[in-house]
Amino acid sequence: MSTIKRILVTGGAGFLGSHLCQRLVDAGHDVICLDNFFTSQKNNVAGLLTRPNFELIRHDITQPIWLDVDEIYNLACPAAPGHYQYNPIKTMKTSVLGAINVLGMAKRCGAKVLQASTSEVYGDPTEHPQTESYRGNVNCLGPRACYDEGKRAAETLFMDYQRMHKLRIRLVRIFNTYGPGMHPFDGRVVSNFIVQAITGKDITIFGNGEQTRSFCYRDDLIEGMIRMMNGPDDFVGPVNIGNPGEFTIRELADLVLKQTGSKSKLVTKPLPADDPVQRKPDIMLATAKLGWSPTVPLEDGLARTIEWFKTIDLGRYRPPTPNY
């Protein structure tokens, strides 16, 4: 039997999606990248357009689409707070209708389907570190709810399709991931701090900067995601994929200043509503079931990311979304 698969990646032109497409194309699979370019640009996959086993479709996943594939990675959804809060109703539709559309497609053609879920399903967590069995602390009324509740509803739909229709599903809960290919104006902390540092602007710390995040390098994350798709049939997840190294936002700012040699000043700005105080994945399940653990420490990943940011022409990217 051929090991070459037909694989659909929704949100395939985005930060993570474009890297995933690259990995899958390089492995010889027939890859369809579907994207509406809301938070990305065609340029992100320009290097793949001449590859015979790569195809690009401009499509909005809130609308049904008829494709025949063996596997689906469902990544379509704005991921940065500024992006997903730009049109919260659309964000919720993308998560929920998007899930219904990919699950319907998977049911019809028998595809295995992986959902890119998020640590945001844990909300502002009261358990630390977060294990997959923790049920979370999400404010369903706040400005982050469009994303958090959309992703929670998508997980519910995946589980129900599995129980009702015996669909082969996978749920991956992704923790803060960074690396080359991030949108320079997405407002996420790593991209913000690097762009601010290399352009000599003030580094904006929200709140007192003592809130923590755990940052996973892009390549580690994609490796975990691919292992999960190809992992044992009786392990559908959810599984946390992230780097347990935990840093305060102030520590991150200091590291970016040190690595860029920038003279930018640290300034404080108000903390956005419902901003989680602490976040760190428990990855014991990923290690036990998939043999996965991250290999790139923050210092190394940050250095690679800074190098990439220095090579790009910021003028070629759409300006910041109005939320930040």
Residues that bind ligand UDP (CB under 6 A): 80-81, 176, 188-189, 192, 204-206, 211, 213, 249, 271-272, 275
Q: Return the one option of ligand NAD, ligand UDP, none that residue 31 interacts with (CB less than 5 to 8 A, by type).
A: none
Q: Return the one option of ligand UDP, ligand NAD, none that residue 17 interacts with (CB less than 5 to 8 A, by type).
A: ligand NAD
**Closest CB to ligand NAD: residue number:** 14
DSSP state of 148: H
Could you give the CA distance from residue 282 to residue 216 in angstroms, rounded to a whole number?
13
Q: Are strands 246-248 and 212-214 parallel, antiparallel or unpaired?
A: antiparallel
Q: Return the one option of ligand NAD, ligand UDP, none that residue 249 interacts with (CB less than 5 to 8 A, by type).
A: ligand UDP
* Beta carbons within 10 angstroms of residue 200's beta carbon: 11
Beta-carbon contacts of residue 109 (< 8 Å; ≥ 6 apart): 67, 68, 69
Residue pair 105/32 in contact (Cβ under 8 Å)? The answer is no
The one catalytic residue among 84, 86, 122, 147: 147
CB of 313 to ligand NAD, least distance (A): 18
Looking at the Cβ atoms of 62 and 131, the one nearer to ligand NAD is 62
CB of 11 to ligand NAD, least distance (A): 3
CB of 261 to ligand NAD, least distance (A): 26
Beta bridge partners of 6: 30
Looking at the Cβ atoms of 115 and 176, the one nearer to ligand UDP is 176
Q: Report DSSP letters for 132-167, one per residue.
A: TT---B--TTSTTHHHHHHHHHHHHHHHHHHHHH--
User: Could you confirm whether 161 is annotated as catalytic?
Assistant: no
CB of 192 to ligand UDP, least distance (A): 4
Looking at the Cβ atoms of 54 and 215, the one nearer to ligand UDP is 215
- The one-letter code for the residue type at 71 is E
Looking at the Cβ atoms of 105 and 264, the one nearer to ligand NAD is 105
Beta-carbon contacts of residue 181 (< 8 Å; ≥ 6 apart): 15, 18, 19, 44, 218, 308
Q: Which residues bind ligand NAD (CB under 6 A)?
A: 10-11, 13-17, 35-40, 60-62, 75-79, 83, 94, 116, 118, 174, 176-177, 183
Q: Which residue's structure tokens are 């998007």?
A: 98
CB of 198 to ligand NAD, least distance (A): 20
Q: Return the one option of ligand NAD, ligand UDP, none that residue 206 interacts with (CB less than 5 to 8 A, by type).
A: ligand UDP
Residue pair 312/180 in contact (Cβ under 8 Å)? The answer is no
Which residues are marked as active site?
A: 147
